[in-house]
Structure 1
Amino acid sequence: MPELRLATFNCENLMMRCDFRRAGIPDARQQLTDVDTATVAAQVDAVFNVLSEDDRTLTAQALAATEADVCALQEVENLVTLTAFDTRYVARWAGSAFGGRVLHEGNDTRGIDVGLLSRVPVVFQRSHARRTYGSLEVMPPRGQSVNDLAFRRDCLEVDIAVKGRALTLFVCHFKSMHGGRLRTRDVRRAEAQAVRRIIGERFADPAGEEWIILGDFNDYREVDGVALDDSGLDPLLDDGFAVDLASQAIADPLDRWTHHFAEDDIYGALDHMFLSPRLAVLNPAPDIRIVRAGSPYHAARYAGPRFPGIGWMEPKASDHCPMVATLKFEGRAFPA
């Protein structure tokens, strides 16, 4: 049975905003999905110094510490940035670049997208950024119409292959809590319903197939073991449609957090891996870990070692911690 070490990580504003014309890259904005061309790829380093050296070094260290085969990423500006980060920073700390890179332009007004780094073959990829509530038959949140886009960023659908067997991933980054968790909950609930519809389109029997929804969902179903009944993630979990891997595999509820909100001193599990029921059965006791060595010191609940250079608030790897798990799967024969 194939085995995969899979991570998810919100890199926090992995951007390289600059004047591409001054760097000698004509029309780079039109080439963001074609970074393997000699014109762009050869000049990536020329514009990469706009990224924070300290923060991005720590981000790469945290990602390398997962030792993942595949990592789903959130808050990446574009494919050029992802390529430069992989080849210049991740390669330094992990020993080599991932090499496989996927990113499609999404809907976020700040230009932050979801993406994927992979050491195993990516055999299928599809963006759902342009799907509307109407096309997915999802009731829009109040104030929105059926013609509005269902995702604040994207739901990136990717198939990866290990030993000739394919597994499907759905990489997400749901609406933030900016404006208040309860006031924004219905948008995340609609996004969760949209993801569920997409999985239903892909698989006639979702419960009997193997797939994973992962990413930053900007919501939680519990805080320190106290269950909440107002989560925007309920459509994915309430009736057993998917299984929350961390809740199943990490016994101590105080050890499930991936994010510390300093203002209210809340340690929340915003980053998740949701497994299909079939895949959960195949992984009753998976090896799962949350890498917190890149967390700033204000996240005082973590008392373990930190990477050199971490500060009280900054520098840091991210405001999120990467989560990584080793999973077994049967998958589908590839090519099908």
Structure 2
Amino acid sequence: MQLTITTFNVENLFNRYAFLDSPWEDRSYEKFIQAIGVVSIASRAGDLVPYPISEIQRNNTAQAILDSKPDILAVQEIENIYTLRIFNETYLDNYFDRMICIDGNDPRGIDVGLLLRKDFNANIQNIRTHIDEPEKGKSIHRTSFLNSGYWVTGAIFSRDCLEVDINLNGKIITLLINHFKAQDKTQASVVRRTKQSERVAELVTQCAKSGKLPIVLGDLNATPVDKSLVSLLKHPLLKDPFPPETWTHYYVPKKNMSRLDYILTHKNIKSISTHIVRNGLTTKCKKYDGPRYPTVGQEHTEASDHCPTSVVIDV
């Protein structure tokens, strides 16, 4: 059975439309997230910028997903299950019919999720979250934050490691969907990512021992040479089907292309091909001279700063 698995950091679907000067209570969520805003949240910096996510951006994000033709799609930086459903119906013409998202440990609305293509012959068997796993020697504490979530300290995972078992014709693949700690030029972020990588590596080993085929995927927020990812990239049960020159992300301030997004498959899974959709990248990325969507320009039109990254496997 051949199938396409894709991972994509969508750089927020709707969240930057949120008005910050009024509470959520007694408001229609659908209208709230689709309102035309005058400010938006730059999620990585946490500051305000004088523009919302545009309709062009949402359409280009959707087109990048559709062009990837995923049977299974892992996403990062989504607000919640409601935004996934609305985005799927409004912009993807209900391409997916099964969606999973559990509120994670980041109150900024950047959770991870999973979607399965409509009529895809697979069964979701188990869903596990790891939001309540503490770092060694620490306790988890949650504090209500801005009436929208909880600020969490002491947890291993910045967001979550969403673990999903899927039955494919009698074989179980276990997807471990992640969005690791971001790089912030401090040793603390390296240490945090290292702990996250080590824990996911343990989960890989546990899955394999129980007869499942683990696949680690998502935005790991580090390049392959970063020491924080050693536990995964050197794991004896995993392989990286992508070529060494792969890049998946463009960082505008430094005009830098790098690889932050990964799909690491169990060594016994046959990889047929890989592909990356870059048509939605900002035109500021001069080193990419391939085709782009007609509406993509320099600012506020790109699909994301990440590229949908896919592997075709045979299970």
In which range does the TM-score fall when normalised by the shorter chain? 0.7 to 0.9
| Aligned equivalent of 1:104, options 85, 96, 102 | 102
If each structure's strand is expressed as a fraction of its own residues, which one has the higher value?
Answer: 2
Q: Distance in 1 between matches of 2:223 and 2:273?
A: 22
Instruction: Tell me if the contact between 1:23 and 1:47 (Cα under 8 Å) persists in the aligned partners.
Output: no
Given the alignment, which residue of 139, 149, 165 partners 1:159? Answer: 165
Shift of 1:268: 0.6
Structure 2 unpaired stretches of 5+: 37-52, 139-152
In 2, are the aligned partners of 1:245 and 1:272 still within 8 Å (CA)? no
- The amino acid across from 1:169 in the alignment is L
Q: Which residue of 1 aligns with 2:297?
A: 311
Equivalent position SS for 2:216: strand
CA apart distance, 1:20: 4.9
Distance in 2, Cα, partners of 1:301 & 1:258: 13
CA distance in 2, matches of 1:124, 1:209: 12
CA distance in 2, matches of 1:214, 1:124: 17
Q: Distance in 2 between matches of 1:52 and 1:23?
A: 22
Query: How does 1:61-80 map onto structure 2 within 5 Å?
Result: 61-80=63-82
1:60 equivalent in structure 2 = 62
Question: Corresponding residue for 1:271?
Answer: 261
Pick which of 291-300 and 118-127 moved more. Answer: 118-127
Query: Corresponding residue for 2:40?
Result: none
Q: Does 1:12 align with 2:11?
A: yes
- Tell me, yes or no, if structure 1 residue 127 matches structure 2 residue 126: no
Q: Matches of 1:293 and 1:181 in 2, distance apart? A: 33
2:222 counterpart residue number: 219
- For the 8 Å contact 1:160–1:168, the answer to whether it is kept is yes
* Residue 160 of structure 1, CA deviation: 2.2
- For residue 189 of structure 1, give the secondary structure of its aligned residue in structure 2: helix
Alpha-carbon displacement from aligned partner over 1:109-134 (angstroms, at most 9, x marks no partner): 31210001112332221111111123
- Relative distance call for 1:277 and 1:86 in structure 2 (3 A) is same
Higher share of residues assigned helix:
1
2:49 aligned partner: none
Q: What displacement does 1:11 show?
A: 0.2
In structure 1, distance between residues paired with 2:187 and 2:250: 18
Unaligned runs of at least 5 residues, structure 1: 26-43, 137-146, 222-227, 330-336
How many residue pairs match? The answer is 276
C-alpha separation between the residues in 2 aligned to 1:135 and 1:55? 43
Identical positions, percent:
32
Per-residue deviation, residues 266-308 of structure 1 (Å, max 9, x unmatched):
21110001112222xx33xx21101000000111121111112
> Aligned equivalents of 2:313 and 2:28: distance in 1?
44
User: Which amino acid in the other structure matches residue 6 of structure 1?
Assistant: I
Partner Cα separation in structure 1 for residue 167 and residue 57 of structure 2 = 32
Are residues 1:232 and 2:235 paired? no
After superposing the two structures, state which structure 1 stretch, 186-195 or 46-55, moved more.
46-55
Cα distance, 1:118–1:290 mapped onto 2, change above 3 Å:
same
Amino acid at match of 1:128: H
Structure 2 partner of 1:202: 207
Distance 1:264 1:183, change over 3 A: farther
Which residue of structure 2 aligns with residue 288 of structure 1? 274
Any idea what the Cα deviations from partners look like across 1:4-39, whole Å, max 9, x if unmatched? 1110000002234366545446xxxxxxxxxxxxxx
Post-superposition offset of 1:215: 0.2
Distance 1:217 1:107 in 2: 16
Q: Corresponding residue for 1:180? A: 185
Q: Distance between the aligned counterparts of 2:78 and 2:136, measured in 1?
A: 28
